Amino acid sequence: MVVNNAVSAYYLRIVVTMYFQQRPQEVHAPQSSPAMQVGMVLAGIMVLAIGVFPAFFMGLSTVPGL
């Protein structure tokens, strides 16, 4: 019971920080490199491919040596 209260107090602190404290005046958007953009596009394509063709990728998991 004490552990549950400690965990809830921790998450309450996060909520208070997110919604009730002032944020810094200057907030800069993070810059991404071309390599990061390529990686994100490839990851997105793979997520879509696995979602659309799951049987193909499940079949790859049974091929020995891959």
Sequential pLDDT tens for the chain (66 residues): 888 898 898 999 999 988 888 877 887 888 889 999 999 999 999 999 999 999 999 998 887 876
Domain that holds residue 52: 33-66
Residue 52 lies in a domain: yes
pLDDT, residue 2, reads 82
CA 53 to each of CA 13, 39, 58: distance values in angstroms, whole numbers, following the listed order: 43, 21, 9
Residue 15 lies in a domain: no
Q: Where are the alpha helices (DSSP H) in the chain?
A: 2-20, 34-52, 54-60
pLDDT, residue 24, reads 74
Residue 56 lies in a domain: yes
Residue carrying structure tokens 């071309």: 34
